Amino acid sequence: MPTITVNNETKQELKKIGRKGESYSDIVDRLLHYYCTKRLDTELNDILENEEFTPLDLEDI
């Protein structure tokens, strides 16, 4: 298994974020999932606010 080195400050922050029984890998996985979800949400909101949409007529499908 690969090793990732972090400084002591980062390790302490990960401990604060972690839940009982979580490994550092679990914490990082959860943070990555959260980040990706938020990034997608931001991108979709940007599209909704800044792009022009052509409504689809579902009867034509």
Q: What is the pLDDT of residues 3-45, one digit of tens each?
A: 999 999 999 999 999 999 999 999 999 999 999 999 999 999 9
The gap from C-alpha 19 to its chain's centroid, in whole angstroms, comes to 18
For residue 14, tell me if it sits in a domain: no
Instruction: Enter the pTM of the model.
Output: 0.69
For residue 2, tell me if it sits in a domain: no
Confidence (pLDDT) at 43: 92
For residue 29, tell me if it sits in a domain: yes
Confidence (pLDDT) at 60: 65
For residue 25, tell me if it sits in a domain: yes
27 lies in which domain range? 21-49
Residue of 32, 14, 10 whose CA lies nearest to 22? 14
For residue 12, tell me if it sits in a domain: no
Instruction: Using alpha carbons, list the distances in angstroms from residue 48 to 6, 23, 24, 44, 59.
Output: 38, 38, 36, 6, 24
Confidence (pLDDT) at 59: 76
Q: What is the dihedral of CA 34, 30, 33, 8, to 10 degrees?
A: 80
For residue 15, tell me if it sits in a domain: no
Indicate whether 61 pLDDT > 70: no
Domain count, the chain: 1
